[in-house]
Every structure is written in C-alpha cells, then in structure tokens.
Amino acid sequence: MAFMQYFVVMIDYGRRGREAVVDPEVTRRQVISRVASGEYRNISFIHEIAENSVEDVTEAILTEAALPQDLPQVPPEEIDIQAIRLDHARDLRKHEQT
C-alpha cells in the first residue's frame, strides 16, 4: 500500500459556515501557492495528514506563503533540498518542545 499524505485546509466563511478543502493530489507547495495567491482566504487551520498522524502546519504554511514571491527562480533539484531542510528544522523544534 502506498504512503498517503494530504492536506486539509479549513476555510471559515463566518455566518455561512466552514468548508474543508481536501484534495489528495495537492502538494504542500501547491497549498502554499494557493495561500500566497489568495485562492485560500480566511483559513482556520491547515492540517497535514500523513499515514496515521495529523500535524497542524497552519503557521508554517502561512509563513512560507508570506515570503516574497519575486525571489530568483530556484532550480527544482534545490527546492527538494530546501523542503528537506525546512522539514528537518520543524522536526527539531518539535522535539525541543517535548
């Protein structure tokens, strides 16, 4: 069985209610892009579901989406390295808190 990972973006429409956007095909980078573009607004939370665990990644994704979009283009092979570094830093912070 393949490793399952996806994101749940909870959008709050106020009196009109809330909507959970769940698409297993959407990657972390695509979620960040949608937040940065304004496609996702009024976000209550963003959860990353991986295997049998749930992690609240709201703050991390909102921070990444707020980075300037006019930065120089990074080659795709370096993006994966950067993502690994960010994930590693997040894991270190998580373990420091416990």
Residues 61-85: pLDDT tens digits? 999 998 665 555 555 555 455 566 6
* Tens of pLDDT, residues 24-38: 999 999 999 999 998
Structural domains counted in the chain = 1
Residue 45 lies in a domain: yes
The whole-angstrom separation of Cα 40 and Cα 52 is 26
Q: Point out the least confidently predicted range of 10-24, 36-50, 59-73, 79-93.
A: 79-93
Q: List the domain range (segments joined by +) for residue 24.
A: 5-71
- Is residue 12 helix, strand or coil? strand
Given a cut of 80, whether residue 8 has pLDDT beyond it is: yes
98 in a domain, yes or no?
A: no
pTM: 0.65
Three-class DSSP category at 98: coil
1 pLDDT above the threshold of 60: no
Examine residue 87 and state whether it is found in any structural domain, yes or no: no
- Asked if the structure places residue 58 within a domain, the reply is yes
- Report which of 29, 30, 32 is spatially closest to residue 63, judged by C-alpha positions: 32
Could you tell me if residue 51 is inside a domain?
Answer: yes
